[in-house]
Amino acid sequence: MAADTPTPAARRPSAAKVRLLEVADELFYAEGINTVGIDRIIAEAGVTKATFYKQYGSKDKLILEYIAGRDRQVRESMTDLARSGPDAAATLRALVDTIIADTSRLDFRGCPFLNAAAEFPDPGHPVRRAIVAHRDWFTTFLEGLLERIGHPAPGAAADEIYLLRDGAMSGGYAGDPIAATSALTRAAARVLAEASHPSD
């Protein structure tokens, strides 16, 4: 190919493919991945079975696209928070605020990644591997923020904040969201204070 030959633009997904994923995303999160069958997704998306298999081939591939889509949403959201905040500490506070806002939504059903992991107990399953990759990215993102604010143990603090986030989202759904998010706010403030006043 000549150097000045334009590269073909990436093909946009068809409207049917987008619609199938939108329906799957809503149903998988609201009701559970294994509970929702392909026939229901096809019916609610308003497409034929042949169209579904042309676009995704199997429910397993659609599930992986669901996880990948949720992963993209989180990465884009966190990147936007980091870009718009004046500094790393403000980004961490904004992250806490985002979690609190999530738990107060009427359609909140907990963390989609934790929910999916509970449905796929085999750690070698592609869904579980995708979830691990997401969590590794998020932990690294948090560690980078904590390094920038000068936390004395950014890796350990990132693990702690992620665990607090998991607990707030699980407790916020299954129990008292106010208590869960209040505990998250207090703990996050303590972690930030450790950066300002590291112990000897």
Q: Which two tokens stand for residue 97?
A: 């605020």
CATH of domain 13-57: 1.10.10.60
13-57 against 67-196: fold identical: no
- On whether the 67-196 domain is CATH 3.40.50.300, my answer is no
Helix (H, G, I), strand (E, B) or coil at 55: helix
pLDDT in tens, 96-118: 999 999 998 989 999 999 999 99
pLDDT band with cut points at 50, 70 and 90 for residue 160: very high
Residue partners of 120: CB distance under 8 A and separation at least 6: 127, 128
Q: How far apart are CA 160 and CA 157, in angstroms?
A: 5
Average of per-residue pLDDT across 76-96: 93
For the chain, the structural domain boundaries read 13-57, 67-196
5 three-class SS: coil
**Contact present, 147 and 77 (Cβ < 8 Å):** no
Q: State what percent of residues in the chain have pLDDT above 70.
A: 93
Structure tokens at 13: 């997904």
CB neighbour list of residue 90: distance below 8 Å, 6 or more residues apart: none
- Half-sphere exposure for 108 (CA within 13 Å, toward CB): 21
Per the model's pLDDT, the better-predicted residue between 94 and 5 turns out to be 94
